[in-house]
Amino acid sequence: MTALPLWVRRPSGERVGWLRTVDHKEIGVLYIGMGVAFFAIGGLEALLLRAQLATPESRLVDPSTYDQAFTVHGVTMILLAVVPLLVGFANYLVPLMIGAPDVAYPRLNALSFWLSLVGGIVLYFSFLAGGAPDTGWFSYAPLAERSFAPGLGVDYYIVGLAVNGAGTIIGAINLTVTILLMRCPGMAISRVPLFVWMTLVTSILILGAYPALTAALVMLFVDRQLGGHFFDPAGGGQVVLWQHLFWFFGHPEVYIMVLPAMGMISEIIPVFSGKPIFGYRFVAGSSVAIAFLSFGVWAHHMFAVGLGDTENAIFAATSMLIAVPTGVKIFNWIATMVGGRIRLTTAMLFAVGFIAMFVIGGLSGVSLAVVPIDLAVTDSYYVVAHLHYVLFGGTMLGIFAGAYYWFPKMTGRLLDEGLGKLHFWATFAGFNLTFLPQHWLGAVGMPRRVFTYAASTGWGPLNLVSTIGAAILAVAMVIFAVNLVRSLRSGEVAGDDPWDGFTLEWATSSPPPAENFPTIPAVTGRRPLWDRKHPDQRDRA
Amino acid sequence: MSASVAVGRGPSIAHDRVLLGVAVFIASESVFFLAIVLAYLAYRDAGLATAKANLDIPRTAIFSIALFSSSATMALAARHGSRSWLVATIALGAVFLAGQGSEYARLLASGIGPGRELFGTTFFTLTGLHGVHVLGGLVALFALLAAHIRRRSALRPVAFEAVGLYWHFVDAVWVVVFSVVYLGTLL
């Protein structure tokens, strides 16, 4: 059992390298590798931002560098780190979980990955081509118009995001068709693992949301390169149109980033509680509700625009409504743990950490849906704190849980639990130290995206705490990197089913052979492997 | 797998991997065009006078009929696995694009480009993006034709169905674009 073989054999016996591979598992690993690399780059950018803000009136970096760093940090983490990480796990796991030999279109799958990567490289090429974009990850007009952003940075942003988005859309088509048509005998849609359910819902969200971003990018490109007036007030255009189009993409994007992580912990919590998930149908159904509602909440990012009281009230109501299906999930996870035989592995620690941190992020989100509160703290560090509780405290902790849980399947070796627990606690402490104080900073008026602040504001101490937290977080990531490298080389050999798992990915070898399963699995319930191991205690569903 | 491409009932979207993929892709493309059409509508009033003064409805209607008929020839090509109907579809699509090209040339000659007022910006973006999709459809049709010539026996009926589905979509988008941009000036 070797760790991550550099070559896999196709069923025909042909040897294929990473550049030419069309195997869903290898493409999954490529996606995860891309995500890890960009997560490291985006993390270094974040450290630069925190270093600059550690003390008032700091001159560590100049304002222009700072603007580029926060813009590229946001784009990188969202589109080049989190999305590829989640798509990578989905690529690797979905065919295994549904008992399929591969995705529906293996070659198109390779195209998706390479488009996503090239999009990221195009964005980063801007650093060599005279300056990165410096207009924020949502690149509002008219700031992003040529008159205010004359360099090429925004053009690289447009092309990079469009190419990356095309890859993501093609990947979503692939996963949708795979889940709908490639399930093995007996694997009814009401039996697929919840991670597969969440991937399906996420794919549909991508298909509905990303085209709006592409459309907005095309319009911005017409404005910048062909002298158009879509978002140019002097030519009769309306800057608010950009915001509508961007957030019609941008808010579903939040759920695109969080639903697969929810899917991961919906696999992990039942296994480590020794119980089936509580309320499978509610976990699956609430995801559909979230997806549906997520297309009707975008203007809560735009309360400060002044759309009008009626519009604001409607979007406030829908935004609060979306907390209901989210809350349903939280209670399902907790109810799954109640009365279970809990094994506090590193994966389980991260999964439970997800619930706690996501609840904080969710609650601050509901507070932001209250228009008067939003008007008071809009564009402040309160918003920065909120979004990091959702995307780091939520999604990233979920991804770490998934990493500890499925690493043995992907490599044949377990990640070290001792280093893992150190990684968890350092992450947990560093994360909260970084982002909890930012709620207070935002509430007392510290604006986001400003490269420094006067000493007289009194924001210095909390900013220093936040920066110290970021340093601890960086140490936690180094611990994780050490764990990855060491375990890959000499970790404990995992075997096929190290966690006493429920689902089909644990029914094959670690790592699985090229064709996934030597024989087509037959499924009679929601926990096919459990049923096989405990024929006397089969699930009825 | 039957060697003939003409016989039997066509594959269904609900069960065929290729057709479902194209259908999902089209659904996603619809959101893209919806966003562009909404932007056109949002700026319609500002550009209406220029649109009324410069768009040639009867001329574009003739070219539109070429595109609309190409959907019929595509359906016949798919039903019979027919090379000649495929050639007819390509010819009609090319006629439409040529018509669009001449429309662009005429407008540009009279000083109306994408940088000229909101009408120019929205008109060239919407019709240009549609034109790019027609061009993509033509490439797919050419690939289908080439495959039909080179290895007819290996070509599955679903190849016609899949390209046809996309071609009908491009056609349907033009129904909307022609209505909104051209017929909209009559309101």
Bond before A63 cis per omega within 30 degrees: no
Average per-residue pLDDT in chain A? 94
| Cα–Cα distances in angstroms (integers) from residue A435 to residues A62, A148, A357, A490, A493, in the given order | 24, 31, 11, 35, 37
On chain B, the residues whose CB falls within 8 A of the CB of A173 are 21, 24-25, 28
What is the structure's pLDDT at A9?
Answer: 46
Q: What is the DSSP string of A490-524?
A: HPPB--S-TT---SGGGGS-SSPPTTS-SS-----
**Closest CA of chain B from A285, distance in Å:** 21
Q: Domain tally for chain B? A: 1
* 3 state SS for A67-89: HHHHHHHHHHHHHHHHHHHHHHH
What is the structure's pLDDT at A17?
Answer: 83
Nearest chain A residue (CA) to B34: A212
Give the mean pLDDT of A187-203: 97
A472: pLDDT strictly greater than 90: yes
**Torsion sign over Cα A88, A93, A99, A101:** positive
Interface test with chain A among B13, B20, B24, B133, by most A beta carbons within 10 Å: B24
d(CA A300, CA A471): 33
- Joined together, the tokens standing for residue A225 give 């390169």
d(CA B181, CA B187): 11
User: What percent of chain A lies above the pLDDT cut of 90?
Assistant: 93
Of A497, A529, A524, residue with least CA distance to A510: A497
| SS3 (DSSP) at A9 | strand
* DSSP assigned state of A389: I
Least CB–CB distance from B121: residue in A173, A211, A228: A228
Angle at B174 (CA atoms; ends B169, B176), nearest 5 degrees: 100
On chain A, the residues whose CB falls within 8 A of the CB of B125 are 218-219, 222, 228, 230
Domain holding B54, by residue range, is 14-186
What is the structure's pLDDT at B3?
Answer: 36
CB-count burial class (<10 Å; 0-12, 13-18, 19+) for A198:
buried
- pLDDT tens, residue by residue, B25-47: 999 999 999 999 999 999 999 99
Residue B124 covered by a domain: yes
Give the mean pLDDT of A334-356: 97
Residue B7 covered by a domain: no
Instruction: Tell me the ipTM for this assembly.
Output: 0.93
What is the structure's pLDDT at B78?
Answer: 92
What is the structure's pLDDT at B151?
Answer: 83
| SS3 (DSSP) at B122 | helix
Size of interface A-B (CB pairs under 8 A): 92
What is the structure's pLDDT at A7?
Answer: 44
Q: What is the DSSP string of A100-111?
A: -SS-S-HHHHHH
A359: pLDDT strictly greater than 50: yes
Dihedral, A114, A119, A120, A124 alpha carbons, nearest 10 = 130
A12: pLDDT strictly greater than 60: no
Q: How confident is the model at residue A520 (pLDDT cuts 50, 70, 90)?
A: confident
Q: Indicate yes or no: CB of B35 within 8 angstroms of CB of A211.
A: yes
CA A431 to chain centre: 16
Give the mean pLDDT of A207-232: 97
Are the CB atoms for B164 and B18 separated by under 8 Å? no
The CATH number for B153's domain is 1.20.120.80
d(CA A476, CA B66): 64
Which spans in A274-340 are helix H?
280-294, 309-321, 323-337
- pLDDT tens, residue by residue, A253-302: 999 999 999 999 999 999 999 999 999 999 999 999 999 999 999 999 99
Please state the φ and ψ torsions of residue A447, each to the nearest 5 degrees.
Answer: -75, 150
On chain B, the residues whose CB falls within 8 A of the CB of A207 are 24, 27-28, 31
Residue B70 covered by a domain: yes
Nearest chain B residue (CA) to A178: B17
Residue B18 covered by a domain: yes
Are the CB atoms for A380 and A462 separated by under 8 Å? no
The DSSP H or E segment spanning A8 is strand A8-9
Task: Establish if A249 touches chain B: CB-CB under 8 angstroms.
Answer: no
Residue B98 covered by a domain: yes
On chain B, the residues whose CB falls within 8 A of the CB of A223 are 121
Residue B8 covered by a domain: no
Residue B9 covered by a domain: no
Q: How confident is the model at residue A485 (pLDDT cuts 50, 70, 90)?
A: very high
Interface test with chain B among A108, A214, A225, A229, by most B beta carbons within 10 Å: A229
d(CA A387, CA A393): 9
On chain B, the residues whose CB falls within 8 A of the CB of A208 are 28, 31
On chain A, the residues whose CB falls within 8 A of the CB of B15 are 181
Bond before A511 cis per omega within 30 degrees: yes
Nearest chain A residue (CA) to B118: A229
Residue B80 covered by a domain: yes
CA B108 to chain centre: 23
d(CA B107, CA B95): 18
| Cα–Cα distances in angstroms (integers) from residue A525 to residues A186, A199, A407, A519, A541, in the given order | 8, 20, 25, 18, 5
Q: Indicate yes or no: CB of B24 within 8 angstroms of CB of A208.
A: no
Of A120, A121, A126, residue with least CA distance to A68: A126
Task: Establish if A207 touches chain B: CB-CB under 8 angstroms.
Answer: yes
- Joined together, the tokens standing for residue A417 give 């639990």
CB-count burial class (<10 Å; 0-12, 13-18, 19+) for A416:
buried
A453: pLDDT strictly greater than 80: yes
d(CA A341, CA A154): 53
Task: Establish if A158 touches chain B: CB-CB under 8 angstroms.
Answer: no
Q: Indicate yes or no: CB of A214 within 8 angstroms of CB of B32.
A: yes
Are the CB atoms for A72 and A93 separated by under 8 Å? no
Q: Indicate yes or no: CB of A173 within 8 angstroms of CB of B42.
A: no
- pLDDT tens, residue by residue, A54-112: 999 999 999 999 999 999 999 999 999 999 999 999 999 999 999 999 999 999 999 99
What is the structure's pLDDT at A540?
Answer: 64
A1: pLDDT strictly greater than 50: no
| List of chain B residues with pLDDT < 70 | 1-11
Nearest chain B residue (CA) to A224: B115
